[in-house]
Structure 1
Amino acid sequence: MTLEEIIDHRKTLARTCVTKAVFPDTTNHHDTLFGGTALQWMDEISFIAATRFSRQNIVTVSSDRIDFKHAVPAGSVVELVANVVEVGRTSIKVRVDMYVESLYEDGSIKAITGYFSFVAIDEDKKPTPVLPQSFLDQYQGK
């Protein structure tokens, strides 16, 4: 396999989806999901996707461009979908889309989109390749 094929395969394996109910304890005075709660959920699922991609210790280094397109009302259901979209030598960027749907109607709309960047770290907390040579060797049958 080429490096590009390995990365594409790892991206497929890393895709992560989580469904959550929006209960009153996660809403603000407008009866919509707290922005901070949405960010927490998005950081968590993006962390899972990045870890699934690299299977190493990783840390969040930034959240980039969070677009709140639609309010998420109390009593609705949200689905968070995380996909690895960029891979650097030591870094991974994950896009998270949050979709909102009513409990009582079909269909959903994209409510929030955000990007989260991670760095793989070694035992000394120093950046390390997200795909170390030993990992790549497994794909090459070595």
Structure 2
Amino acid sequence: MRTGELAREAGVNIETLRYYERRGLLPPPERAPNGYRVYTAAALDRIRFIKRAQGLGFSLEEIEELMSLRPAKGRQRQRVRRIAETKLETIESKLAELEGIREALRQLVKDCEAGCDDADCPIIEALSQPGKVPCHT
């Protein structure tokens, strides 16, 4: 299949295909006599693998490593598991951070509901005072 067909089937744009090719995530395709790239079904499978891995939060660097471990057998399976465990820990940490942010915002909204008749907005006041609102940057 040609570049446009592959992009459509995979749900990515043509520039993404070329980027994956430059990064080595997608092997260079054969060329037709007219110079057009011709991709195989295996290329579509690789792109779908990449998209599914991205959907789970893996970076392209992590995906490169996962792809290098295919097929995962023996020690390679252990390495794949470690990569997934590390990603899970990262996501759990981010969720905890987001929970803290949510609670801080809930409190600000609650303070605003209780004191919005005042001249000064409680949210603006809280954001203006160092240490008043937890900073998660």
TM-score, normalised to structure 2, is 0.28
Larger Rg: 2
Q: Which has the higher strand share?
A: 1
- State the structure with bigger RCO (CA 8 A, min sep 6), 1 or 2: 1
TM-score by length of 1: 0.28
